[in-house]
Amino acid sequence: MTHRVVQRVVVAPHKFTGSMSADRAAHAIAQGIHGERPELELVEFPVADGGEGTVSLLVAKGFEPVTVLASGPLGDPVTATIAMKGGTAVIESASVAGLAQLGAGGPDACTALQASTYGVGELIKAVIDHGATRIIVGLGGSASTDGGAGAVTALGGGVLGPEGLPVRHGGGGLTAASRLELADLDVRLEHVEFIIACDVDNPLTGPSGAAFAYGPQEGATSEQIRGLEAGLRQWANVVSASVGSVLTRLRLRSALSPSGCARCTSKPAASSASTAQYQP
């Protein structure tokens, strides 16, 4: 008795930025292979790294798309899609705080300081409203270097200056931060597991930190990059004083699972829901 061996080829490309989505790339590659080797069994399995395209790929795999109105990186309203399946939700930071959301002008020296992750916090609130208890946050493609301060504000936290007033949104306001107030943080966060989807292991600060590594693509000048670095260090000190974690030495890879995601479970000290609004 002879057995026929079927060779299977898995086609798993990432997107070609600015040219082709991951699913279109997978299909095109599979067609090319089939044209030359029609006897092969081809499996199209496009992949994403937490940036643009992550939600659409999961929707194609059976997640339910939900449309949400949130704040863009400069505070203008944008429409974003989140993916839901049972108690799991997937959101893309890029859909509300991404470089593509800056419009035709793209990133520049002004947006580098002003871009905020406030909308990311709004997406988190939205998926919790839809019953999510497990949230996967894709981090790729961000236009902001605010260390997540905007998201914290949208969720009810207070990033305050020396006089007790909120600091400006965006990475440019972080040097003025002196206190993180969590009394009004959304209480529902205590029951949510967060999984961070990213494909890098940069620390928050330092020569390979967020400001120096990603500031240039976000439009920051050399002088602004140094200012954003100082702001992130100040923000890390403020957060450390509030929650007890030393963020400047944190690397996501130390907590990475084989899937490329870092896991954490939120345990905030909270007492009431947020009513915060975006105020540039």
Over the chain (280 residues), what is each successive 10-residue block's mean pLDDT?
Answer: 76 84 91 94 87 87 94 96 96 94 92 96 97 94 94 96 94 96 94 90 91 95 97 94 71 38 43 33
Same domain flag for 138 and 241: yes
Q: What is the CATH number of the domain that holds 149?
A: 3.90.1510.10
81 within some domain:
yes
- The whole-angstrom separation of Cα 83 and Cα 197 is 14
274 within some domain:
no
Element spanning 95, H or E: helix 94-97
For every residue of 123-180, DSSP letters joined together read HHHHHHHTT-SEEEEE-TTB---STTHHHHHHTT-EEE-TTSPBPPSSGGGGGG--EE
Residue reference for tokens 């993916």: 83
Residue 209 neighbours by CB distance under 10 Å: 20
Same domain flag for 195 and 104: yes
Same domain flag for 9 and 58: no
277 within some domain:
no
pLDDT of residue 268: 40
Same domain flag for 119 and 24: no
- The whole-angstrom separation of Cα 89 and Cα 130 is 9
Same domain flag for 23 and 92: no
- The whole-angstrom separation of Cα 27 and Cα 137 is 27
pLDDT of residue 247: 62
Element spanning 231, H or E: helix 222-243
Range of the domain at 6: 1-47
pLDDT single digits (tens) 149-195: 999 999 999 999 999 999 999 999 999 999 999 999 999 999 999 99
136 within some domain:
yes
Look at the chain and report how many structural domains it folds into: 2
270 within some domain:
no
Yes or no: say if 97 and 137 are a contact pair by the CB < 8 Å rule. no
> Across all residues in the chain, what is the average pLDDT?
86
User: Where does a domain end: 9, 29, 47?
Assistant: 47
pLDDT of residue 174: 97
Same domain flag for 36 and 144: no
Distance of CA 196 to the CA centre of its chain: 8
pLDDT of residue 81: 96
Same domain flag for 124 and 174: yes
279 within some domain:
no
Same domain flag for 124 and 219: yes
Residue 177 neighbours by CB distance under 10 Å: 23
pLDDT of residue 45: 87
Same domain flag for 26 and 107: no
∠ at Cα 164 (162, 168), nearest 5°? 80
Task: Report CA-CA distances (Å) from 144 to 32, 55, 120, 139, 224.
Answer: 39, 20, 11, 11, 13
Yes or no: say if 50 and 140 are a contact pair by the CB < 8 Å rule. yes
- The whole-angstrom separation of Cα 197 and Cα 220 is 25
129 within some domain:
yes
Same domain flag for 191 and 143: yes
